[in-house]
Amino acid sequence: MHRSTSDSSPFYKRGAPLILVLVAIALLPLFLIYDRPRGAALNEVKQNGILRVLTVNSPTTYYEGPEHAMGLEYELASGLAKRLRVELAMETADSIASILPRLTRGDSHFAAAGLIVSKEREQIVKFTPPYQEIQQQVVYLMGRKRPKSVEDLLGRDISVVAGSSAAHHLNALKASHPNLRWTETSDKSADQLLYDVWQGELQITITDSHVIAVARHHYPELAIGFDIRESVKLAWAFPMNDDDSIYDIAVDYLKELKENGELDRLLERYYGLTESFDYINVSEYRRKIESVLPRYQALFQEAEKQTGFDWRLLAAMAYQESYWDPAAVSPTGVKGIMQLTNATAEEMNVDDRTDPRQSILGGAAYLKHIRERIPERIQEPDRTWFALAAYNLGFGHFEDARILTQRSGKSPDNWLDVKELLPMLTDPEWYETTKHGQARGEQALTFVTRIRTFYDVLVRITQEADAAIEDSG
């Protein structure tokens, strides 16, 4: 359903409906929940063994990954459920607009949906301290006229998610820009609107910077016009009542994640790859997924069966190594689709490095061999990022980086910490104190970051293709 904001009635111009509707929705159930005894919510969770968390399905909140559920909000909520020793039930709302009404009805214990803290929302729900700070940005299609200010939005085809913070901010801007027009949709998510912009079906959308950053890896021609407002904060939302038993635990939990660095590690896991956006590289990669990858996909899938690595990760790795060119030869003499050295090829029983099957199976086997040498206490996905870095850098040099990380007072078992020290392997002040000496640590960091990007893009494309087959069947 789409709703135009061009209604010219005096009541609409005053901007009253949004606040009145939200307040009405909130007040209706309050008399029922204010009388709940303190601690009742926590007792209910422990008695039933289930923590019910309201969210939306999106790449930045909660979604089904290649092997299991993923998403920043899912990871955070899972940690809280483990702390409470209960199971987590992620309940998805149809849209952002339906989150607060459902929460105030008592449908869930709290909402974890990338909600922006605002004065209007604080009137009807109780927010935790923020866990992330973002921007709200104007997005357009590369090649079209760039909007640089609110004035440049006048007369443009604009659509935003109904009930979103972007929609509310546009309402606020209308007071100083009465000719500003847009539509709000409850049928599409922010990611779907970004797709419409990428397809040329919509001129402008406005949404959150972390959503845009992830989407640009999949829709590389998206461009950012400008930040439409100052930075905003994301937090969990709880029902407005006197029972803070779960709320207090959640606040302490999020505070602890900030203090021990786990929150930063989760943010890096989901958004670290967004810092390396390269339009030309990603665009060319998407084209080669259609034109070149089909020749070798079966070989990557065979390698998955032999090693346990997701075939899409191996394909992403091979693309970073050779752009899927089995005849590729580097200036240092490494060859083939997986760019094997003579020593590695010999160790993995590869007779012909330019043979695609031998190279793919040999490279995957070598990556598995490296991962098996990494301490078992290191968990995924960091364990795989470590293996990829060691594949590129050499296991000894990578161990040097971990030692330097430990000397610096950080964790040698955490990718977020180790990747900060990798570039130091090119600095004499650092590498002269190591066992294996100088190494191109920055190159290894780039290697892992790009593979993560290529893997993420390929997973998204294959999942969309699978979904289309299911729908047609």
Give the three-state DSSP class for 173: helix
DSSP conformational letter for 165? H
Q: Of 463 and 472, which is predicted with more confidence? A: 463
* CA-based nearest residue to 318, from 420, 451, 207: 451
DSSP conformational letter for 204? B
What backbone torsions phi and psi does residue 205 show, to the nearest 5 degrees?
-135, 160
Residue 396 structure tokens = 């000894």
Residue 7: what pLDDT?
36
Measure the CA dihedral 128/129/132/134, to 10°: 100
Q: Enumerate the active-site residues.
A: 321
Neighbour count for residue 258 (Cβ, 10 Å):
13
Neighbour count for residue 149 (Cβ, 10 Å):
11
* pTM for the model: 0.67
Residue 123: what pLDDT?
92
Q: What is the mean pLDDT of residues 385-401?
A: 93
Q: What is the mean pLDDT of residues 348-361?
A: 95
Q: What is the mean pLDDT of residues 301-326?
A: 96
pLDDT greater than 60 at residue 4 = no
Residue 278: what pLDDT?
66
User: How does residue 36 score in pLDDT terms, banded at 50, 70 and 90?
Assistant: low
* Class for the domain spanning 12-130+233-275: alpha beta
User: How does residue 273 score in pLDDT terms, banded at 50, 70 and 90?
Assistant: low
User: How does residue 219 score in pLDDT terms, banded at 50, 70 and 90?
Assistant: confident
User: How does residue 331 score in pLDDT terms, banded at 50, 70 and 90?
Assistant: low
DSSP string, 264-318: HHHHHHHHGGGGG--HHHHHHHHHHHHHTGGGTHHHHHHHHHHH---HHHHHHHH
Between CA 372 and CA 121 the distance in angstroms is 49
Q: Of 473 and 103, which is predicted with more confidence? A: 103
What is the CATH T-level fold of the domain 279-465, as seen in this structure?
Answer: Lysozyme (1.10.530)
> What digits encode the pLDDT tens for the residues 46-69?
999 999 999 998 888 998 766 678
Domain boundaries, the chain: 12-130+233-275, 136-230, 279-465
Say if residue 369 is exposed, middle or buried (CB neighbours under 10 Å; 0-12, 13-18, 19+). Answer: middle
Residue 244 structure tokens = 């803070």
Q: Of 249 and 187, which is predicted with more confidence? A: 249
The reply to whether 279-465 shares the fold of 136-230 is no
Residue 438: what pLDDT?
84
- Least confident segment among 91-95, 170-174, 308-312, 354-358: 91-95
Strand partners, 359: none
As a CATH number, domain 136-230 is 3.40.190.10
User: How does residue 22 score in pLDDT terms, banded at 50, 70 and 90?
Assistant: very low
Q: Of 112 and 281, which is predicted with more confidence? A: 112
Residues of 397-422 as b/e, b for ≥16 C-beta within 10 angstroms? bbbbbbebbeeeebbbbbbbbbbbbb
Q: Chain-wide mean pLDDT for the chain?
A: 87
